[in-house]
Structure 1
Amino acid sequence: MRETSHVRRTAGPKMVPRARGAVAYPVNALAMTPADWREHYGGQWDALVRARAVHDPHGILGRGHGMVP
């Protein structure tokens, strides 16, 4: 994903709540990287990856959000 001025402006505001343990509703205006998604799901990340492999083997669901497990 090409970084835009919007991405740069929104990256800072998401870090303060995240540092305090907050998570974001996945479909929002804050750009998230695959590493952000992994942190968001924490200990459930591996289960999510396995579930997606079974139930969404072609990666159709949730495209465009930068998750890509």
Structure 2
Amino acid sequence: EAGFTPADTRAVEEAVDEAIAESTDMIKERGMGAMGPLMGVVMQKLGGSADGKTVSEALRRKLSELDD
């Protein structure tokens, strides 16, 4: 509501998947510690149009799935 259109959920999921695919080595090294850097990558991919909470939740979910 602050002058931007939130990215839709599918766009967030796609950006998260891309960021994870591009950062597998960092994720292996850092695990959940990769969240911060990945947040920046995803937000950049979405041009800052996504809600940080939505991105964070999607990233956390995807990273925890990788741990299984």
Alignment TM-score, normalising by the size of structure 1:
0.30
Alignment TM-score, normalising by the size of structure 2:
0.30
Greater relative CO (CA pairs within 8 A, separation 6+): 2
Point out the structure with the larger helix share: 2
Structure with bigger gyration radius? 1
